Amino acid sequence: MNRRMLELNNVEVIYDDVILVLKGLSLQVEEGQIVALLGSNGAGKSTTLKAVSGLLVPEDGEVTDGSIEFLGQMIHNQEPSRIVRKGIFQVMEGRRIFEHLNVEENLRAGAYTTPHRQQISEKLALVYEYFPRLAERKQQVAGFLSGGEQQMLAIGRALMATPKLMLLDEPSLGLAPLLVQEIFQIIERINQEQGTSILLVEQNARVALRIAKHAYIMENGRIVMDGTPEELSDNADVREFYLGFTERGQRKSYRDVKHYKRRKRWLS
């Protein structure tokens, strides 16, 4: 049985002292697993990741109830700089690369918590092996990279820190389908070859379910369902609302939508 890496228990997050975003959320990531967290806009997926990585604080958010445990230690409401040192690294939504730094400087910034020069150059070589396109653009200012390259840079930057757990927030955002394929393959390779556990937030449920071992579905600040990708893909609600099929397994036509709007069963 795998060791438990990350465990969120009944986590409640409040922004600005008034806005309740997570309402008692629980989930687990086991060592070496890829876990997907799916859900629509505003469900609280990004907030969940930020609660883990500590990045809630600059946004005036706070974990007010429940606990977040990483390898047996409580980490909620700690400074992000301490959490990164413990081995959790978040790749934020929208890539957030340092636009005025060149590619290599971006990667070196990712290795901020790694003081050894030797280790940094080994990691650089590793990142360039996963992303040969970044190697060609080492000296280029990162702001001028294409969207796909920026996403690669964002993931490469995370690799530089040698995290035990990587939190990926919508790596498919704004990318062409082929690029999404490519990036998800690399995520899978990183998981297998480096043994990095991954908590993946996605709106693109289809690609996420393809690489995940376990998935959670989130709505309105709570987990409403979880299971293996197979179990979820067989569920009628998931098929309809996240994968876009009707019960008969065909793509839905617009006429059906207009005619009859199915209620989600877990809401009643």
Partner 1 sequence: MSPNDLRLFIQFTMTGISEGALLALIALGLVLIYKSTDVLNFAHGEFMLLGAFITWDLMVNYQLPVLLALPLAGAIMILVAIAVERLMLRPLIGKPVISIIMVTIGMSSVIHAIVGAIWGPKRQVLPQLFPEILEGPGLRIFVEGVRRPAQMSYERIYWVLVAIVLVLLFVLFFRRSRQGIAMRATADDQQAAMSMGISIQRIFAITWSVAALTAGVSGLMVADFDTVSTSINEVVLRAFPVIILGGLDSIAGAIIGGMIIALTEQYVSGFIDPSLKNVVPYLVLLLVLMARPYGLFGEKIIERV
Which residue's CB is nearer to partner 1, number 9 or number 140?
A: 140
Rounded Cα gap, residues 68 and 74, in angstroms: 6
**Residue 200 CB, nearest approach to partner 1 (Å):** 16
**Residue 166 CB, nearest approach to partner 1 (Å):** 11
Rounded Cα gap, residues 40 and 242, in angstroms: 9
Rounded Cα gap, residues 1 and 247, in angstroms: 36
- List Cα–Cα distances, 235 to 118, 223, 245, in angstroms: 49, 15, 11
Which residue's CB is nearer to partner 1, number 126 or number 243?
A: 126
Rounded Cα gap, residues 22 and 47, in angstroms: 8
The residues binding partner 1 (CB under 8 A) are 53-55, 58-60, 79-81, 83-85, 89-92, 96-101, 105-106, 108-110, 112-113, 115, 141, 143-144, 146-147, 157, 161
**Residue 231 CB, nearest approach to partner 1 (Å):** 33
Which residue's CB is nearer to partner 1, number 174 or number 195?
A: 174
Which residue's CB is nearer to partner 1, number 144 or number 266?
A: 144
**Residue 55 CB, nearest approach to partner 1 (Å):** 6
Task: Please give the single-letter amino acid code of residue 213.
Answer: K
Please check whether residue 243 is in contact with residue 233, taking contact to mean a CB–CB distance below 8 angstroms.
yes
Rounded Cα gap, residues 21 and 34, in angstroms: 24
**Residue 171 CB, nearest approach to partner 1 (Å):** 14
Which residue's CB is nearer to partner 1, number 42 or number 94?
A: 94
